[in-house]
Amino acid sequence: MAPTVIIPTFWTRRTTRGRGRSRFHYDHPTALGEKGTLPACLRSLEGVRGLGKVIILVVGTDETVEQPAEDQVREILAEHPRIDAFVFGTAELGSLRRRLEQLEFSDMIGGTMLGGYGAVRNVGLMLGAVLGSEVVVFLDDDQLVIDSEYLVRAMDGIGEQTPSRHPLLAKSGYYVDEGGLPAKRPITKWHDVAWRQNECFNEALSIITRQPRIKPSSMAFGGCLALHRDMYCSVPFDPWAIRGEDMDYVINVRMHGGDVFMDSDWSLVHRPPKPSSAAAIFRDDVFRFVYTHRKLEFSKSQVDLRQVRAEDLLPYPGRFCDSSIVWRARITAFLRAFASPERSAYFAIARQAVSEAEHYALDNCERYFSFQRRWPMLMDRLWQDVALKSLFSGERRVDRSALTGRLPIIRID
């Protein structure tokens, strides 16, 4: 059976690049009126062997973007008639929400919406269940598939046991540059003396590319990720993780007794546009790592979870999940303020955002665990759901002309 390929694509107004009214920050959303990276991604899929259903999740940075973005994605898809694609937008999300209410899972709506990296991926997992997909493969819209056997490699070993007799239910490949080399990050400068993120990432990447081919990993790449139904129907993404939801998924899987494996023979080209603000990404990383540290600490009180420590995640992201993360973040923000043109933004991070990240982590670190405990029951009810399958397979469509208003946005508070 062909896997279901899921592609989230993020869109914004032309002027703000996603840093306006929306509370959800995305690294490089495509501005309305620009084609962005999605067309090249779709072209690269056309020659892939074993390509089946493709689901495109259209995410807008605010309500005014959503409908125009869906229309533009449909125009792009019209240029690729050989791809069996389904566009999932706000109207389809409304149908999904109403079904969750009917099934008495309205409490799960906040963690499955078209807003925030983790919640968006959870929508993709729910669609996989509705379609009865044994395997879902995530692909990002800024990537190119350069191997016609890409999906064959993705499916290799999934659902089976490794030579060490561990079930292989989640597998990641890695990113390469256009020369085919692992996409390492540039060495950081003096102002990152307490924040050697790129070096830690590169160290982990060098381990990934070594033998054996398939091995447990402390990191994953969300744009090159295959999940078996026994995994994705049991473990969701964390909607409260600000970014790095793929790395966070490794932690979630480990907490529930499994592993995400890295396949050194599975890769694709990553061509991300340049982000508009390095300070904004750093701020999100501060929230991300402070939250991860607090989540690991909170999990120690949960008797039904396998304990995961920061040292279990070395070299990356483990060095950013320990108790030193708060003071390191504040020092780095001050140092970057003296070395970057975004001086005021970095000073604001040092003075305010680090404390805000601590409060956010304390307020939200336990929410994922309640959400996860309900997830398997929800996915069991959604598996090949008759009321939704014909809609999400494309057999019938939502009458968009009948929509009289926008669906309310449910915030993660």
Reduced to 3 states, what is the DSSP secondary structure of residue 56?
Answer: strand
Distance CA 321, CA 331 (A): 16
pLDDT over 50 (residue 403):
no
Split at pLDDT 50, 70, 90, the class of 399 is low
pLDDT value of residue 14: 78
pLDDT 10s digits, 113-124: 999 999 999 999
| Cβ(229)–Cβ(127) below 8 Å | no
pLDDT 10s digits, 91-140: 999 999 999 999 999 999 989 999 999 999 999 999 999 999 999 999 99
**Residue whose pair of structure tokens reads 């002309």 in the numeric block:** 401
Report the range out of 22-26, 121-125, 206-210 with the highest average pLDDT: 121-125
pLDDT 10s digits, 150-206: 999 999 999 999 888 899 999 999 999 988 889 999 888 889 999 999 999 999 999
Q: What size, in residues, is the chain? A: 413
Mean pLDDT, rounded, for 26-41: 92
Distance CA 353, CA 290 (A): 11
pLDDT value of residue 22: 55
pLDDT over 50 (residue 66):
yes
Taking the model in full, what pTM does it have? 0.92
| Cβ(6)–Cβ(157) below 8 Å | no
Tokens of 5: 């390929």
Residue-averaged pLDDT of the chain: 91
pLDDT value of residue 274: 85
pLDDT value of residue 28: 87
Tokens of 405: 């208003």
Distance CA 10, CA 38 (A): 10
Cis peptide before 315 (omega within 30 of 0): yes
Higher local confidence (pLDDT), 405 or 61: 61
Task: Name the residue among 384, 393, 395, 371 with its Cα closest to residue 235.
Answer: 371
Percent of the residues in the chain that have a pLDDT greater than 90, as a whole number: 81
pLDDT value of residue 400: 54
| Cβ(86)–Cβ(54) below 8 Å | yes
Split at pLDDT 50, 70, 90, the class of 23 is low
| Cβ(279)–Cβ(190) below 8 Å | no
